[in-house]
Amino acid sequence: MTKPEILSPAGNPEKLRAAIAFGADSVYLAGNVFGMRSAAGNFTDEEISEAVKYAHGHNVKVYITVNTMPRTGEYKRLRSYLEFLGSTGVDSLIISDLGVFMLAKETVPDIALHVSTQASAVSAATCNEWYKLGASRVILARELSLDEIKEIRENTPPELEIETFVHGSMCVAYSGRCLLSNYLTGRDANRGACAQPCRWEYKLYGNSCFIGEIEEVKREGERFTVIEEGGESYTYSSRDLCMIGHIPELVQSGISCFKIEGRMKSACYTATVTNAYRMATDAYFESPENYIFNPSWMAELESVCHRQYCTGFFFGDSVDNSNICTSPGYIKEQTALATALYYDDKTGRATFMQKNKFSAGEAVELLIPGKTGYRFKVSAIYGENGEKISSVPHPMMRFSIDVPFPVPEFSVLRYAIEN
């Protein structure tokens, strides 16, 4: 039984450092071109080079998304971009388009190629053909059950790695096949510019011709709203995937890599989610026969910015709308107050950089790698010169607080999670 890799999102350099600090085995990110998340912070060419050096210095791999579907006129620029990526030492490219895949094989033959979930691989036959073409990993479509994943694993070469999403936002459309954003806004989802119209609230208006019900003749021209049972009208908005409670089943299915979605989420989100899956996976492999799920891991995931959770398609097709949101928008995120910079063993004080205002006397939590939040009350706050201050009101402000144990760099100070 091989321990799955924890692959975390890195929407910008800050999120990359957070992912690595909290236990990611690998990170995935994009440059400013040819990536499916153009609204994420993304990385300049210089930042990509620096990210690879930083990650490799921490024994973490870097995967670059090159998963849009370029037009013919873009291939000259694409070749140049691939040549640049080849010079950085990145560990793999995540690709969905066959033309891009073959160009990458030709241009950067020493870089591993991973097939994106946008390619909609749902069968062993498809995975085997990608393997013959040179893929070292296939990221399966999200629309597969655990039984189907097991079947794929059993019928593909053991050298071919299988990756699946285990946490984060899901698309209501079939992987890599949505045209809704392009139709409604002109922003092409398959070129990285999705406006997420599936998340909007919809009201359906019609008359007898549209509805096809004879009794509607009397209401011709009258607008009405179609509401789901319970008063919800977010009929396209998918819940977020959360498989933290099913680590044994995921491992036993033969998945090589657990992927966390969220390049557009905060660094605090990246740290918290990576940490939870790291703890759960490590706990299982420490003693599979004695593994017990820790509810505090789920509490951590409930604290970050997310929609209602579900288990996606892992336990069968969702034909009963159980994967559709019944409330709008995100569930409120626990506020990140500051990020740790360093800890002074002599004074027992940790120095932080402020993200949001808080005051002395408030209840907070400290999230450090490998642990759930440690709750305490801030008895005193010290300014940069060691003077006592009542609050930290300014972004990027440096301050210190007393903490009775070492605080690793990038640890997150946040408001205490409500029970």
What CATH number is attached to the domain comprising 60?
3.20.20.70
Residue 68: predicted pLDDT: 86
Question: Does 118 share its domain with 243?
Answer: yes
Number of alpha carbons in the 13 Å side-chain half-sphere of residue 403:
26
For the domain that residue 358 is a member of, what is the CATH number? Answer: 2.40.30.10
Query: What are the angstrom distances between the C-alpha of 63 and each of 56, 148, 289?
Result: 12, 26, 33
Enumerate the β-bridge partners of residue 400. 351, 382
Give the count of domains, the chain: 3
d(CA 411, CA 392): 18
**Whole-number Å distance between alpha carbons of 274 and 219:** 53
127 and 260 inside one domain: yes
Q: Are both 306 and 395 inside the same structural domain? A: no
Estimate to the nearest angstrom the gap between the alpha carbon of 183 and the chain centroid: 26
pLDDT of residue 234: 63
Closest CA to 304 of 164, 171, 168, 409: 168
28: domain range?
A: 5-174+237-310
- What DSSP assignment string belongs to 260-318? E--TTS-HHHHHHHHHHHHHHHHHHHH-GGG----HHHHHHHHHSSB--EE-TTTTS--
CA 153 to chain centre: 24
In a domain, 19, yes or no: yes
Nearest-Å Rg of the Cα atoms of the chain is 23
User: Do the strands 388-389 and 381-382 form a parallel or antiparallel pair, or are they unpaired?
Assistant: antiparallel
β partners of residue 365: 375, 414
pLDDT tens string, the chain, 419 residues long: the values are 799 999 999 999 999 999 999 999 999 999 988 765 555 568 999 999 999 999 999 999 999 999 888 999 999 999 999 999 999 999 999 999 999 999 999 999 999 999 999 999 999 999 999 999 999 999 999 999 999 999 999 999 999 999 999 999 887 777 667 777 777 777 777 666 777 777 776 665 544 444 433 333 444 555 445 554 554 556 677 889 999 999 999 999 999 999 999 998 999 999 999 999 999 999 999 999 999 999 999 999 999 988 889 999 999 765 455 676 667 677 876 789 999 999 999 999 999 999 999 999 999 999 999 999 999 999 999 999 999 999 999 999 999 999 989 999 999 999 876 65
Q: Which of 271, 295, 310 is the last residue of a domain?
A: 310
> Do 42 and 159 fall into the same domain?
yes
355 and 392 in a single domain? The answer is yes
Number of H helices, E strands in the chain: 11, 18
Question: Does 220 lie in the same domain as 101?
Answer: no
Does some domain include residue 131?
yes
Nearest 5°: the CA angle 317, 301, 64 is 75
pLDDT (0 to 100) of residue 208: 43
Do 95 and 167 belong together in one domain?
yes
Phi then psi for residue 312, to 5 deg, are 60, -130
Residue 187 lies in a domain: no
pTM: 0.88
Residues 138 and 124 in one domain: yes
